[in-house]
Structure 1
Amino acid sequence: MKNFNVEIAAPVGSFEGLMAAIQGGADSIYFGIDSLNLRSASSFNFKLSDIKKISKICNNHGIKNYLTLNSIIYDEEIKKAKKIIDYSKDFINGIIVSDCSLLEYLKNLSLPVHLSTQLNISNLESLKFFSQYCDVIVLARELSLKQISFISRQIKKHNIKGKSGNIIKLEVFIHGALCMSFSGKCFLSEHTHGKSANRGECLQNCRRPYSIIDDQNNIFKLDNPYILSAKDLSTLSILDKIVKTSVSILKIEGRGRSPEYVKTVVSTYNKALSLINNNSFDRISIQKLNEDLSSVYNRGYWTGHYLSEFVSDWNTDVSGSKSKVIKEYIGDVTNYFRKNSVVEIFVNNSQIVNNDKLLIIGNKTGVVELKIAEIWFENSIILKAEKGNKITLKCNEIVRKNDKVYKIVSRN
């Protein structure tokens, strides 16, 4: 257990992801609804009517929930944005915004406000100005640990308070995708396809391979054609240094990622924080935890701008994930027998054998990991289950009918 006052904020883009965040040990979650957030096109996104349910689930598990409303907002959308705020304010623990019109509207409400990294707050004077509108500031991703530490110290020295009257808190990203532009303010997708990254519609032009073409149409191929595609951020190896800056919230990016990604990343950073707290955070433990992170979606990792180091290989060399394993759909849960802790599965794709590792995922179940010890089919133990078989397996965690079942297989 971590004893220091730091909060892990997990990304949630579905109810499966919400339960996965809880299973991973998140202290809070953040989510978006409809179109006024920066993941409107890349994740499930909840409806306004889902907020009560999200709030209830979070309250039952003792975690906070923050609504993300951080896209560019036009005149014709202000009324809609205010309606969302008015409906949500009694069910959420805070709201993440970037538009100044909403800051003014929220100023007289008791709802805690987090300023999005989209505001690119990167110095003390900006922080002082914006502190009148908020309680938490998500700092620009381009800041170094030295710069963050300075801002943190000055907040305490000058007793800079937020709109609630409490000392202003700092939030930083510790893991996930990075944009090639400052704090995500990219215009490539808007320029080429009319889909704005600042409106949650990014088509990720930067993730494509590129070549150099001269004025004679000669094409020069590059050793690494993914020259604009940044590796993912991972601060696991420097998490102890980040904690020492006295930031309050450690944010994980990934509302468009899978539930198993959320659970794995959140639980890995939770383990790291516990090791730091117990003075057991060393090279060997970091290596082991990094192996866990390598099992989920990633484009390769680097530590971002935190160490103020020039990194020549900041860009990835693949179009997708470099994770060592992937999940393969196997079938669906048809029943769960709680008395005997047994799950019944209909296999409608591929096959499974003893020692296979399975993931069972559902909107109430979250993510359950299971290693097959033995397979039962028609009252007999079998070595291999084929497509069309209805089998039973020992499963000590509760799963539910219609949950999806996946097999973990090597990417190679």
Structure 2
Amino acid sequence: MKAIRPAPHLPELLSPAGDMERLKAAIQFGADAVYLAGTNFGMRSAPSNFSPEQLAEAVEFAHSRGVRIYLTTNIIPRNSDVEGLEPFLRMARDAGVDAFIVTDLGVMAAAKRVAPGVEIHISTQTGVANYAAARQIYDMGAKRVVLARELSLEEVATLRAKTPKQLEIECFVHGAMCVSFSGRCLLSNYFTGRDGNHGDCAQPCRWKYALCEETRPGQYLPIMEDGDGTYILNAKDMNMSEHIPELLRAGVDSLKIEGRAKSAYYTAAATNAYRRALDDALAGNPLTPWVTEELDKISHRQYSTGFYFGRPNQNVDLGSYVRDYEVVAVCESYQNGVAVLSQRNRFFRGDTADILEPGKAPYQVRMDHIQNGDGEEIEAANHAVMRVLLYTDTPIAPGALLRVKKDLDS
């Protein structure tokens, strides 16, 4: 029996999901909607994505919890892709997805033809940067437009004021930025043959470049900006957690977190932080301090606010990620002072675990007394997914993630 499609909840927190584990993390930690891809026509090939059976399962799981599902069908298809498009859209329609996220006008027309009851959301790949384009897209049948990430907050507000109020406005608030306009980049194709639009980007914008003079092969000269070189291609990550009230005042209906290719932990922590940030804004409260701290605990490059406040200082002086914390275990149960953990990364007796639970401020627990599944005292949890008993007076909720700060000097 088909799940009952829930009504939209606006303003909305929209989280990414690359597979079922990440979808469940997004929902557990407070997403109002989740965007994901099937095995075709979506702009991320690195995640495992959802088979037809998994997509139906995901929709059933989400709808039973009042969460909506948006399916990315946002590649720019070639002739060879077109034949399989309508069967794919019918499958997704029958699975019960709430919206198709599309870039291509042919895909939009096919979706309207074979799935008229499914909303059309226009992808950021379309590059909508003005109210005239947004109006035209609405007249063509779109329910929502995901704006180009190059707009300032003032431009977003102007676009909102000059478009039908029935047209929903979605904007990115967190995650990786592309140095090309709304992700329209050919560098990956040029260097590696991997198609960025089909989700296989090699991220050449993160590589280190140098000049080579043609008569001096093998002599590489740095492209200088400072002592370490220039990094004009290497964008910082976006972080708008401190500016949710401004986004809502500008008329943004949906706050989108980037990262379908990232881990379930990233999905959980980012969703948890933005859930609190959005709730604070809606209640008229100042931002809860731990929100900022939480976003520093997930894998990220240096942060910026993108283009929202004018021309950004968005180029970072290194391409590597900041990864100061790692998930070491997931709590399976807690009873009578004993937490049953499933190990994810090595940890040691005496470590301090930083606990992430849905909707709660993070808290810390010392792991001074740990045993293996046979009840034997251990000094370290060394084996993947091993069962560990943690003795603590602090109740830990099932599904909570235990993190440990890395020793960066070791």
TMscore range, shorter length? 0.7 to 0.9
Of the structure 1 ranges 115-124 and 102-111, higher mean CA displacement relative to structure 2 is found in 102-111
Change (3 A) 1:323 1:290: farther
In structure 2, the partner of 1:177 is 176
Alignment check: 8 A CA contact 1:149 1:246 kept: yes
Alignment check: 8 A CA contact 1:326 1:411 kept: no
Alignment check: 8 A CA contact 1:69 1:95 kept: yes
Alignment check: 8 A CA contact 2:375 2:389 kept: no
1:360-399 counterparts in 2 under 5 A? Answer: 371=365, 372=367, 374-376=369-371, 382=377, 384-385=379-380, 387=382, 391-393=388-390, 396-398=396-398
Alignment check: 8 A CA contact 2:333 2:397 kept: no
1:68-217 counterparts in 2 under 5 A? Answer: 68-90=72-94, 91-108=96-113, 109-131=116-138, 132-155=140-163, 160=164, 167-217=166-216
Higher relative contact order (Cα pairs below 8 Å, separated by 6+ residues): 1
Amino acid in structure 2 at the alignment position of 1:353 = R
Amino acid in structure 2 at the alignment position of 1:12 = A
- Once the two structures are superposed, what CA deviation does each residue of 1:366-399 show, in whole Å capped at 9, x if it has no partner? xx99843632458878473354786422564335
Change (3 A) 1:127 1:339: same
Residue 102 of structure 1 deviates from its aligned partner by 1.4
Give distance in 2, aligned partners of 1:280 and 1:183.
Answer: 32
3-state SS in 1 of match to 2:83: helix
Alignment check: 8 A CA contact 1:106 1:133 kept: no
Of the structure 1 ranges 376-385 and 113-122, higher mean CA displacement relative to structure 2 is found in 376-385
In structure 1, the partner of 2:6 is none
- Once the two structures are superposed, what CA deviation does each residue of 1:90-123 show, in whole Å capped at 9, x if it has no partner? 3111111111111112224121010101110111
Residue 219 of structure 1 deviates from its aligned partner by 3.1
Alignment check: 8 A CA contact 1:327 1:408 kept: no
Residue 54 of structure 1 deviates from its aligned partner by 0.1
- Once the two structures are superposed, what CA deviation does each residue of 1:185-213 show, in whole Å capped at 9, x if it has no partner? 00001111111111111111011111233
User: TM-score scaled by structure 1?
Assistant: 0.83
Amino acid in structure 1 at the alignment position of 2:390 = L
How many equivalent pairs are there? 381
In structure 2, the partner of 1:46 is 50
**1:37 maps onto 2:42 in alignment:** yes
Give distance in 2, aligned partners of 1:139 and 1:249.
Answer: 11
Amino acid in structure 2 at the alignment position of 1:200 = G
In structure 1, the partner of 2:3 is none
Give distance in 1, aligned partners of 2:286 and 2:61.
Answer: 33
Amino acid in structure 2 at the alignment position of 1:82 = E
Residue 58 of structure 1 deviates from its aligned partner by 0.2
Amino acid in structure 2 at the alignment position of 1:146 = E
Of the structure 1 ranges 299-308 and 68-77, higher mean CA displacement relative to structure 2 is found in 68-77
In structure 2, the partner of 1:364 is none
3-state SS in 2 of match to 1:304: coil
Residue 57 of structure 1 deviates from its aligned partner by 1.0
Give distance in 1, aligned partners of 2:14 and 2:273.
Answer: 13
In structure 1, the partner of 2:66 is 62
1:231-380 counterparts in 2 under 5 A? Answer: 231-281=236-286, 285=288, 288-311=290-313, 314-327=314-327, 340=336, 342=338, 344=340, 350-357=346-353, 371=365, 372=367, 374-376=369-371
Amino acid in structure 2 at the alignment position of 1:204 = Q
Of the structure 1 ranges 380-389 and 265-274, higher mean CA displacement relative to structure 2 is found in 380-389
Give distance in 2, aligned partners of 1:43 and 1:81.
Answer: 20
Alignment check: 8 A CA contact 1:234 1:303 kept: yes
In structure 1, the partner of 2:5 is none
Give distance in 1, aligned partners of 2:81 and 2:201.
Answer: 19
Change (3 A) 1:295 1:387: closer
Residue ranges of structure 2 left out of the alignment (5+ in a row) = 1-8
Change (3 A) 1:143 1:405: closer
CA RMSD in angstroms comes to: 3.1
Change (3 A) 1:399 1:261: closer
Percent identity (aligned): 25
Of the structure 1 ranges 21-30 and 339-348, higher mean CA displacement relative to structure 2 is found in 339-348
Change (3 A) 1:380 1:204: closer
- Once the two structures are superposed, what CA deviation does each residue of 1:155-207 show, in whole Å capped at 9, x if it has no partner? 2xxxx37xxxxx11111111110111000000001111111111111111011
Amino acid in structure 2 at the alignment position of 1:75 = N
User: TM-score scaled by structure 2?
Assistant: 0.83
Give distance in 1, aligned partners of 2:334 and 2:106.
Answer: 52
In structure 2, the partner of 1:409 is 406
Alignment check: 8 A CA contact 2:15 2:257 kept: yes
Give distance in 2, aligned partners of 1:382 and 1:202.
Answer: 46
Alignment check: 8 A CA contact 2:304 2:312 kept: no
